[in-house]
Amino acid sequence: MESNESNNIQRELEGKVALVTGAASGIGLAITKLLESRGALVVVEDINPDVNDVFKDNWRIIPFVGDVATEQAAKEVVDIATESFGKLDILS
């Protein structure tokens, strides 16, 4: 029974779409890894272009270089999430 619970927890975000800002390093990177490991599809944003390299080989994660403190970049990254995955469930 315990193994079943563990599997459910590990994939509890299956089908959810998340947007994580500041994802190239630190807390944003850790949150992204946790969300993806729990089954979420993730759009990651950072002003640091390294965000592209950090997530380049993971089809479940779409990187975006920009500054979501600006209205234009914020709109763009939300559009990427909704156009790529059809919705947006989690914002971090």
The string of pLDDT tens digits covering residues 41-92 is 999 999 999 999 999 999 999 999 999 999 999 999 999 999 999 999 999 9
Q: Using pLDDT thresholds of 50, 70 and 90, give the confidence band for residue 9.
A: low
The string of pLDDT tens digits covering residues 23-42 is 999 999 999 999 999 999 99
Question: What span, in angstroms and rounded, lies between the C-alpha atoms of 30 and 34?
Answer: 6
Q: Which H or E run includes 83?
A: helix 71-85
- Return the pLDDT at 1: 46
CATH, residue 18? 3.40.50.720
Question: What is the pTM for the complete model shown?
Answer: 0.87
Domain total of the chain: 1
Question: What span, in angstroms and rounded, lies between the C-alpha atoms of 50 and 79?
Answer: 21
Q: Is 47 left (phi over 0), alpha (psi -120 to 50) or beta?
A: alpha
Domain of 9? 2-91
